[in-house]
């Protein structure tokens, strides 16, 4: 299983809209993706409830894991989204 550590770029963390963007990205990858933070066990990254329950804050390091064909590309996509400040992007879109 391939994995990657990523620092959460959203200032407030994986709440509401940022979590939804992460979940949509995970669901679109075509491989199962797990996400974890700290000592917590990995959860399904395509589940909004599971991602919200992680309680990941801005600046926290999360680990994303994927297995199978396309795992590296899936991790690239997840890392790119997780590292962005999705809070700032949301504010800009709402303005």
pTM for the predicted model, two decimal places: 0.89
Work out the pLDDT band at 91, boundaries 50, 70, 90.
low
Residues 52-81: pLDDT tens digits? Answer: 999 999 999 999 999 999 999 999 999 999
Average pLDDT, the chain: 93
What's the rounded Cα separation, in Å, for the pair 18 and 44? 16
CATH fold for domain 2-94: 3.30.1340
pLDDT band at 90 (very low <50, low <70, confident <90, very high): low
Across the chain, the runs of DSSP E, i.e. the strands, are 2-7, 33-37, 43-44, 61-66
Catalytic site residues? Answer: 15
Q: Where are the domains of the chain?
A: 2-94
14-27 pLDDT, tens per residue? 999 999 999 999 99
């Amino acid at each position: 299983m391939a994995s990657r550590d990523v620092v959460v770029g959203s200032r407030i963390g994986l709440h509401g809209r940022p979590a939804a963007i992460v979940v949509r990205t995970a669901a679109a990858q075509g491989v199962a993706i797990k996400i974890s933070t700290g000592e917590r066990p990995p959860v399904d990254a395509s589940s909004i409830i599971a991602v919200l329950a992680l309680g990941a804050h801005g600046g926290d390091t999360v680990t994303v894991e994927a297995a199978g064909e396309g795992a590296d590309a899936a991790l690239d996509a997840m890392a790119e989204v997780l590292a962005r400040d999705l809070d700032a992007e949301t504010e800009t879109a709402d303005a």
